Structures are given as structure tokens and as C-alpha cells.
Structure 1
Amino acid sequence: MQKSARIASALAAAVALGLVSTAQAQQHPASGGKEKCYGVAKAGANDCANLSGTHSCAGQAKTDNDAAEWKFVAKGTCKSMGGLTADEAKAKLKGM
């Protein structure tokens, strides 16, 4: 009886881990539900490194709406927020 209980527990754990992995994959920004949007991050609220290379971490944006800074936003909403694609942001920075 103890052996079957252990086997059942092991199977339940394996199934639970599989479900957690699936849920995490669905929430990850790169999984398709999010896109990088440049020029919409507030100071201290960017998601990662900027285009100009002055920092490589989240939360280090110095000014609001800097074209070099980005945030993940829901796919298809960047333009309506006044944001830029990576190519548009690079072109804007090049022209400055």
C-alpha cells in the first residue's frame, strides 16, 4: 500500500510540475502575447537594457518616454500608446 501511495504522489507531482511550466510559458512576454514598445516607459519603469547602451537593467530609465527605453505591452497596443518599434526608435535616436 505504501508503494502505491508513493507512486501516486510521484505522478501527481509530475503532473503538477507540467502544469506550472505550461502556465509560466503562457505568461512569459516572449510567448506571443506581448511586444517591446519603445518610448512609452516612465522613468525607473523600463523593462531591460536600452538601445543607447547606457544601462543593461530594468528600472534604470532616467526620463519618461525616452525613445531608447522600452516596456513589454500587450501585442497590438504599442502604436495606440504612442510607442515605436525598435527600428523606428533607432531611426529617431540616429536623427537626434
Structure 2
Amino acid sequence: MQKSNLAVTAAITGLMALGASALTATPAAAAETEMEKCYGVVKAGQNDCATKANSCAGTVKEDAKKDAFIVVPKGLCDRLAGGSKTSS
């Protein structure tokens, strides 16, 4: 039973590594993806940068803080509940 769990874990790890290398192997494709700041949807401790009340990334203590943002692919913020392209 343990050998099969090890095999499954190794297979999943290999697939994850393959996927990660595929993403990093095409910097041109990554550069083509436009990104934008999305305010008001951040979970506590997951903000991308400083806010008016916090000095660095990952320091917001509340969910959905209006001045905290994460960087998302362009167009996604409009589809997120509570998402805004401007800080309030």
C-alpha cells in the first residue's frame, strides 16, 4: 500500500514540475499576459504590496480590505465579487 502511495506522489510531483517548467519556459507568452491590480478581494496576509495602513506585502490582517490588492490577469478583477480596479 505504501509503495502505491509513493508512486502516485512521485507521479503527481513530476506532473507539477512539468507544468511549472512549461510556464517558465515561455517568457514571451507570460509577457503577453496583461496584468492589473485588483482591490478589495484579498484574503488576510495575501496582499501583493504595501497599503495605506501596512508597510509591505502579506501584512493585511483583514479579508477584503478596500486598499489592499493582488495582481491578476487583465479582465479577471471585473468578474470577482467585490473586485475593484481602484482603491477606496
Q: Structure 2 length as normaliser, TM-score?
A: 0.60
State yes or no: 1:73 paired with 2:83: no
Tell me the equivalent position of 1:34.
Answer: 35
State yes or no: 1:46 paired with 2:47: yes
Structure 1 runs of 4+ off > 6 angstroms? none
Q: Structure 1 length as normaliser, TM-score?
A: 0.55
Q: CA deviation at 1:54?
A: 1.3
* C-alpha RMSD over aligned residues: 2.3
Distance 1:54 1:34, change over 3 A: same
Question: Which blocks of at least 5 consecutive residues in structure 1 are unaligned?
Answer: 1-21, 91-96
Q: CA deviation at 1:78?
A: 0.2
Task: Give yes or no for contact 2:33–2:73 (8 Å, CA) kept in 1.
Answer: no
Question: Which blocks of at least 5 consecutive residues in structure 2 are unaligned?
Answer: 1-25
Larger Rg: 1
Distance 1:56 1:32, change over 3 A: farther
Which SS does the other structure have where 2:79 is aligned?
helix
Q: What's the % identity of the aligned pairs?
A: 42
| Partners of 2:41 and 2:61 in 1: CA distance | 13
